[in-house]
Amino acid sequence: MDRTIPAIITGLVLLGVLILMWRSWRRRSRRDAALTAGYPMPETAGVTLAGAEAYYVATTPRDAPLERLAVPGLGFRARAALTVTEIGVILDLDGNQPVFVPASAIDAVGAAQVAIDRVVETDGLVRLGWRLASGPTSGTTATDDDRRAVDSFFRIIDPHDRTRLVDSIRTLTASATRPTEPAAHQDESEA
């Protein structure tokens, strides 16, 4: 009898915590319902530049690594395969449709140490900074616009794959942002 009351109190506290977690996730899902993961998958992705097996950690608003976005397809942790092609990056998370991020949507790639509830050694995570295809359509505020810029975090399994992957994404984004010179100017320099 002396253990019954503490067991009931513990059970009620745990039930309360579970209800609060469920309610918070529902609110977050409704908040992020207008956001879309990735862009339409192209018919041909082009030549593969690099690939890596990884653990997907989370996608967060830019510069807010502790606030998970509940974007469909990117809301939960998963094992992932990342593929860098000549036109973009394909994020293939287990149990979800592949997400395509074109080179023009990628803002940055770099290292990170913290994301949501994952803290690792210095530079243990790869941070892929990119812009979502769609965002909130009504009631747009500065924070809604900022939410379109996101960071996705990955823990690359093989360190050698990590270096090739990051270098390939940097090369891809550099070529996507490099201004092209006018054709007339190129003809003059060749003469």
Q: Which helix (H) or strand (E) holds 73?
A: none
Rounded to the nearest integer, the mean pLDDT of the chain is: 79
Alpha-carbon distance 13 to 74, whole Å? 30
Work out the average pLDDT over 60-67. 84
Domains of the chain, residue spans: 48-177
pLDDT of residue 63: 81
pLDDT of residue 176: 64
pLDDT of residue 119: 75
Helix (H, G, I), strand (E, B) or coil at 189: helix
CA 99 to chain centre: 10
pLDDT of residue 188: 41
Q: Model confidence at 69, in pLDDT bands (50, 70, 90)?
A: confident
Q: Which residues make beta-bridge pairs with 151?
A: 60, 129
What share of the chain in percent tops pLDDT 70? Answer: 83
Alpha-carbon distance 88 to 154, whole Å? 17
Give yes or no for residue 23 having a pLDDT over 60.
yes
pLDDT of residue 159: 83
pLDDT of residue 163: 86
Burial of residue 184 (number of CB atoms within 10 Å: 0-12, 13-18, 19+):
exposed
Q: How many CB atoms lie within 10 A of CB 181?
A: 9
Alpha-carbon distance 117 to 67, whole Å? 10
Cα–Cα separations (whole angstroms), residue 13 to 17, 20, 28, 75, 163 = 6, 11, 23, 27, 46
Kindly report the pTM of this predicted structure. 0.72
Determine the topology of domain 48-177 in CATH: PH-domain like (2.30.29)
Give yes or no for residue 129 having a pLDDT over 80.
yes
19-28, 51-60, 82-91: the lowest-pLDDT one: 19-28
| Dihedral, CA of residue 32, residue 128, residue 42 and residue 164, to nearest 10 | -160
Give yes or no for residue 70 having a pLDDT over 90.
no
E strands in 62-146? 78-85, 88-93, 99-102, 106-112, 114-115, 118-119, 125-131
23-27, 32-36, 129-133, 136-140: the lowest-pLDDT one: 136-140
pLDDT of residue 135: 52
Give yes or no for residue 44 having a pLDDT over 50.
yes
Structure confidence by residue, pLDDT tens digits, 136-189: 444 444 444 444 888 899 998 888 888 888 888 888 887 766 554 444 444 443
Q: Which residues of 61-95 are buried (b: 16+ CB within 10 A; e: fewer)?
A: bbeebeebbbbebbbebbebebbbbebbbbbbbee
